[in-house]
Chains A and B, each alone.
Chain A
């Protein structure tokens, strides 16, 4: 249990990036009427940015 909890906490920034930031970016783009580049779907772009940023935060220990 403790091992699972530690793993979840370690990966929390990545989970946050994919689970929350990605839909925020996608719905933000749609609300603003902005099209994602390269013909990507808004959610795909959101997952790319949110996932990359979350992975950075997980590995580096900081978002900024």
Chain B
């Protein structure tokens, strides 16, 4: 670990450009490395989830335990694909770009989304955070935690606005091919569930994929989308994301207490955002970012 970036005690004497320069120096210090932790996490998580199916079907793992593990697996699947969406494991042209894309594609299907769809829509969320018209995650906004939880469940109903926001985002980017791919994934998911159910594995399909998926999506949207961006957050680089204190701790909130660092510097690996935040904190305070830690 290199030494902390030095800066004056009184940051009010620094210009906007000088503050930005310091912030970028800290960000660069915490980026550029291959996040092997998240790569291992991606494949270990995938292997555990895949192995649950035969283990539950042959009776070595009881269904209730399989359900609990599958819920954890699917809740954990988004973060590796999220790092891959931002090319953190390997940028285009880099030696490990193939690994970046492999992590993204190998994990995102568990959430019934093509990796390319997640990337296009998520990068658009970064461009238009909290924009009522263009932020694909705007439907996660809610006044209270319970409203947020109910809201995400409501948005997954057939008339939910969220799916439409995703499709409109893909259309804005001229990616009608991805719209068809996303529909194909959804229909494929249903076809697999139905095939399993009519082959005598309905409960396995329900408790190892469908229900864990519903719980995990609610959990992921709560911590990744609602908590850092809502309620009362505005728009703009230092106004759309907050640092917040999670009642369940940083681990159980998937590191999202430091999500503000990710929005400012999305090339920093997830596992380095807490350290980057601690070093960057005085600058963020000087910028007027909402900070609770």
Contacts and interface: CB of A to CB of B under 8 A. Distances in A.
A5 B183 contact: yes
Contact of A19 (B186, B197, B203): B197
B157 A20 contact: no
Contacts of B190: 12, 15-16, 19-20
B157 A62 contact: yes
Given A8-B187, A16-B190, A57 B200 contact: no
Contact of A31 (B153, B183, B203): B203
A44 interface: no
Contacts of A19: 190, 193-194, 197-198
B133 interface: no
A20 B202 contact: yes
Given A12-B186, A24-B206, 19 more contacts: A9-B183, A13-B158, A15-B190, A15-B194, A19-B190, A19-B197, A20-B193, A20-B205, A20-B206, A22-B197, A23-B197, A57-B157, A61-B158, A61-B159, A62-B154, A62-B157, A63-B157, A63-B158, A64-B154
A45 interface: no
Contacts of B153: 64
A62 B155 CA distance: 9
Contacts of A31: 203
B183 to A, nearest CB: 7
Contacts of B158: 12-13, 57-58, 61-63
A20 B194 contact: yes
Interface residues of A, number: 23
Chain B interface size band reads 10 to 19
Interface of B is mostly: helix
Nearest to A5: B183
A60 B158 CA distance: 9
Of the candidates A9, A27, A28, the one having the most CB atoms from chain B within 10 angstroms of its own CB is A27
Contacts of B157: 57, 61-64
B186 to A, nearest CB: 8
Contact of A26 (B186, B202, B210): B202
A30 to B, nearest CB: 9
Interface in A48-64: 57-58, 60-64
Interface string B179-193: 000010011001001
A24 B205 CA distance: 9
Nearest to A8: B187
B202 A24 contact: yes
A10 B24 CA distance: 48
A58 B159 CA distance: 9
A22 B206 CA distance: 12
Contacts of A28: 202-203
Nearest to B180: A5
